[in-house]
Amino acid sequence: EIVLTQSPGTLSLSPGERATLSCRASQTVSSNYLAWYQQKPGQAPRLLIYGASSRATGIPDRFSGSGSGTDFTLTINRLEPEDFAVYYCQQYGSSPQTFGQGTKVEIK
Amino acid sequence: QVQLQESGPGLVKPSETLSLTCTISGGSINSYYWSWVRQSPGKGLEWIGYIYYSGSTNCNPSLKSRVTMSVDTSKKQFSLKLTSVTAADTAVYYCAAGMVRGVLIGRYFFDYWGQGALVTVSS
């Protein structure tokens, strides 16, 4: 199965700053089938990005995804207070689909 | 808009069977892969498997020998059974839905999630 490694584990930033989150796959992600989710305490994950770079419905344009092959990035421009959360990547190009271990974006 | 709600016992004894049901509101039952995902502190998010409205399934090989999934289209529900549970199966269990897109079977991301159900395995 494909192992996804997210870095850093924790990102300490201030509102208004840019967050850059990395997701590296142990093998090529087929068709760049890579998604990003946001999870807040006590809530289910929420879809942000699919297909490596397509924003899900209703997701603000300060969230963007990029990358291909084995290296993917989620960028959050101008962090808003509601953006402080844990972010997960997921590959769905190969079965079993797998998730990264998460990156926590916390307020500095 | 699809809404999902998990139901089932919150406490299961070791070696017994964990049973959960997910009730679907909204959406078309033949348009999604109806899925189970669990989240535990030790293993993070783990895909358990999916069932399609036709009854076809696919499961994570790590759990396949213990997992049974079923769907009741008339009730708009799908269910999970996990046998021979241990403390390692303690987790928040989510039901989730991924829309069927394209021609590649079983290649999907999660559009919708239930709120999650905490299941603790303990005697």
- What's the confidence (pLDDT) of residue A83? 98
DSSP string, A70-86: TEEEEEESS--GGG-SE
Interface residue B101 vs chain A (CB under 8 A): no
**Per-residue model confidence as pLDDT tens for chain A (108 residues):** 999 999 999 999 999 999 999 999 999 999 999 999 999 999 999 999 999 999 999 999 999 999 999 999 999 999 999 999 999 999 999 999 999 999 999 999
The C-alpha of A41 sits at a distance from chain B's nearest C-alpha, in angstroms, of 12
Contact A91, A98 (CB under 8 A): yes
Lowest mean pLDDT among A5-9, A12-16, B38-42, B85-89: B38-42
**Quick check: bond before A96 cis, omega within 30?**
yes
pLDDT band at B31 (very low <50, low <70, confident <90, very high): very high
What is d(CA A38, CA A29) in angstroms, rounded to the nearest whole number? 20
In the beta sheet, which residues pair with residue B92? B39, B118
Q: Give backbone dihedrals phi and psi of A81, rounded to 5 degrees, phi first.
A: -55, -35
Q: What single letter denotes the amino acid at residue B80? A: L
The C-alpha of B121 sits at a distance from chain A's nearest C-alpha, in angstroms, of 20
pLDDT band at B43 (very low <50, low <70, confident <90, very high): confident
Contact A35 B114 (CB under 8 A): no
User: How many CB atoms are located within 10 Å of the residue A67 CB?
Assistant: 19
By C-alpha distance, which of B45, B116, B120, B54 is closest to A96? B45
Contact B107 A93 (CB under 8 A): yes
Lowest mean pLDDT among A54-63, B50-59, B94-103: B94-103
Q: What single letter denotes the amino acid at residue B20? A: L
Chain A residues whose beta carbon lies within 8 Å of the beta carbon of residue B62: 96
pLDDT cut 70: percent of chain B above it: 100
Contact B45 A45 (CB under 8 A): yes
A7 Cα distance to chain centroid: 10
pLDDT band at B101 (very low <50, low <70, confident <90, very high): confident
In chain A, helix, strand, coil percent, each to 5? 5, 50, 45
DSSP string, A49-63: EETTTEEPTT--TTE
What is d(CA B54, CA B52) in angstroms, rounded to the nearest whole number? 5
User: How many CB atoms are located within 10 Å of the residue A57 CB?
Assistant: 6
- What's the confidence (pLDDT) of residue B5? 98
- What's the confidence (pLDDT) of residue B3? 97
User: How many CB atoms are located within 10 Å of the residue A25 CB?
Assistant: 22
